[in-house]
Chains A and B, each alone.
Chain A
Amino acid sequence: MSAAIQVDGLTKRYNSHLAVDDVSFEVRVGEVLGFLGPNGAGKTTTQRMLTGVLKPTGGRALVLGRDIVSDPVGAKERMGVVPEVANPYMEMTASQNMAFAGELYGLPGARIRARSQELLREFNLWERRDDIAKRYSKGMKQRLILAMSLIHEPRVLFLDEPTASLDVESRRMIHGRVRELSGRGAAVFYTTHNIEEANVLCDRVAIIRDGKLVALDTPEALKSTFAMSQSVVVSFSRPVEAAELGALDGVTHVEKHGDKLHLFTAAPGALIERLAGYAQQEHVEIVSINTPGPSLEEVFVSLSSDTSRSGGPR
């Protein structure tokens, strides 16, 4: 796959503060790249440089071959953007907002009308197209913003926390649309705080910490690299004392999560056998048992907090 977004040594400095430090990566055609990091890590600054809002202090970024600094208009024509905090114009209807977005991208009137109808129907806003956006719910406003960003059929999409605090229906709709766009060959740069969202939606995940890219790989590859802890999650037909299970051989510690007990061990296979013996001895039935792998959350927490790690992506 060829690169739709090519980033080389991108750097942003505010006086003595280095907000983004020599970040390099690419987003391939048809790929969804998740961009994760704790608050203040440099996620939004990176997206703003890539979308031409902020001028980089160093490095360069190409969007479908167009340099965002030397040819910002050419690069912006090819991208659709949902900024971190963005609203439609509240005093305007959905149709008027869509028409305005289309005019900003230089589309002819007939094309604007056709695309508006298509997108407003897809995002379940067609019936309310003549309502001013002020009357919309938060999810509807966000869907309208996404529809506006797609009016010119961009081949590259930048989404900054597009599903933050949205209802399930809107979130699913946006996820579905992102998958569909990626399936049609669009490159998606997806900034999110939500690790599970990155896990299920993204082909690869980049993790940024203190302005540096500290990891870049597929979610599964990252998880296997960071297989720091193994565990067995078990639930019984009646409550059992966590301390009793903690006393079993090989259990390093126990955590209770709802009706499940999370038993950490270096040897999950042997522990399962001991749990079966415990259940038989105590006349209690095992309702469920599984051995979850390391989560992307563990990878994220490890990379976000470990100050000893070097800056290069793995």
Chain B
Amino acid sequence: MMRKCWAIAKKNIRIYYLKGPVLIFGILFPAFLFLAFAIGRNVPAGSLVPGLIGMALFFTASATTPAILPFETRTRTLERLLVAPLPLSVLIGGDVVSAFLYGLFLSAIPLAISFGILGAVVTRPVALIASIVLSALCFALMGTLFSTPPTDEPSAIMTLANLVRLPLIFFSGVFVPVSAMPQWGQWLSRISPLTYTTELLRAGIGQDVQIGPWWCITALIAFSVAFWSISMALHRRNMCRRLAL
């Protein structure tokens, strides 16, 4: 089944990495959003690093999975996948793997900027690696949850995804560290998986944190399990409805 899962992932890499909605909402949009925040403001360079890497991971890893199923529905390639000898979990798993790799590879760009230009230094490598790997997985799974409504309109799903993603970046320690937020903001930040990414990244580069690294790792794993369980239940219910579109 691992081979079949990888076959799905390879197909996604070949077809969906360069699709317009994925490039726009996965790379260009967060890049411009970050530049709009960072340029012209008197912010220490080092404080930008967790937000830059966290936002890149968040948008890239959650960009491909919402687009895949609507595209497969529209182009009439979905039924062939459904008649193949593999469980639905392998089919969706292949989508998650391709999204995870997309997030992982593209995080190399902000990492290079952070360590090459902004002068960040790794103090706790395990925390840094865990933050990147677990966050890429968690956000890929979050994207799978976005893809559950049965539609053949990728733009409709991308809009839905952005309705959730955009508010999250404002109370997840991307632009302002969690420790600098008001009390209500700090409470609100706990319901966002992105908070645990930015906190873990801060721990990895030696900055002050509000939430301990092990709590962050546990939270990212818990969010991943929840996203997978809920999205699989919804996909099982909705998958056949796509064929009627």
A14 to B122, CA, bound (A): 58
Pairwise interchain contact B240-A54, C-beta atoms closer than 8 A: yes
Q: Does B7 contact A (CB under 8 A)?
A: yes
| Binary contact track A45-58/B, C-beta < 8 Å → 1, others 0 | 00010011110000
User: Are B14 and A91 interface neighbours, CB within 8 A?
Assistant: yes
Interface stretch (choices A99-107, A192-200, A212-220): A99-107
Stretch at the interface among A79-87, A182-190, A274-282: A79-87
Q: Does B79 contact A (CB under 8 A)?
A: yes
Q: How far is the CB of B171 from chain A (nearest CB, A)?
A: 39
Q: Does A76 contact B (CB under 8 A)?
A: yes
Which of these, B6, B83, B87, contacts A81 with CB under 8 Å? B83
Q: Is A86 within 8 A of B77, CB to CB?
A: yes
How far, in Å, is A271 (CB) from chain B's closest CB?
51
Q: Mark B75-119, 1 if CB is under 8 A from A, else 0.
A: 111011111111100000000000000000000000000000000
With A86-B76, A87-B76, A103-B7 already in contact, the answer to whether A48 and B84 are too (CB < 8 A) is no
User: CB-CB contacts of B1-42 with A at 8 A, as 1s and 0s?
Assistant: 001101110110011000000000000000000000000000
A158 to B77, CA, bound (A): 16
State the interface size on chain A (CB cutoff 8 A): 32
Interface of B is mostly: helix
Task: Give the docked Cα–Cα distance between A74 and B86 (Å).
Answer: 9
Q: Give which listed residue, B4, B15, B79, B243, contacts A91 with CB less than 8 A.
A: B15
Contact with B4, one of A83, A103, A145, A148 (Cβ below 8 angstroms)? A103
Q: Which residue of A lies closest to B79 (CB)?
A: A83
- Residues on B with beta carbons closer than 8 Å to the beta carbon of A104: 4, 7-8, 81, 84-86
CB <8 Å contact, B3 and A53: no
Q: Interface digits, B125-140 against A, CB 8 Å rule (1 contact, 0 not)?
A: 0000000000000000
B26 to chain A, nearest CB (A): 18
A89–B79 Cα distance when bound, in Å, is 12
Query: Residue A242 at the B interface, CB < 8 A?
Result: no
CB pair A87–B85 under 8 Å, yes or no, is: no
In the bound complex, residues from chain B placing their C-beta under 8 Å from that of A84 are: 79
Given known A85-B76, A86-B76, A92-B15, contact A51–B7 (CB-CB < 8 A): no
Q: A53 touching B79 by the CB < 8 A rule?
A: yes
Q: Is the CB of B76 within 8 A of A73?
A: no
Bound CA–CA A145/B81 (angstroms): 12
With a cutoff of 8 Å between Cβ atoms, the chain A residues found around residue B4 in the complex are: 103-104, 106
Tell me if A164 is interfacial: C-beta within 8 Å of chain B.
no
Contacts of A74 in B (CB 8 A): 85
19 contacts between A and B (CB under 8 A): A48-B243, A52-B82, A53-B79, A73-B86, A76-B85, A77-B85, A85-B76, A85-B79, A86-B77, A88-B77, A89-B15, A89-B77, A92-B11, A100-B11, A103-B7, A104-B8, A104-B84, A105-B85, A148-B80
Please give the residue numbers on chain A whose beta carbons come within 8 Å of chain B beta carbons, in ascending order.
Answer: 48, 51-54, 72-74, 76-77, 79, 81, 83-92, 96, 100-101, 103-106, 145, 148, 158
> What are the 9 tightest A-B residue pairs by CB atom distance, in nearest-first order?
A103-B7, A76-B85, A83-B79, A104-B84, A81-B83, A77-B85, A87-B76, A73-B85, A51-B83
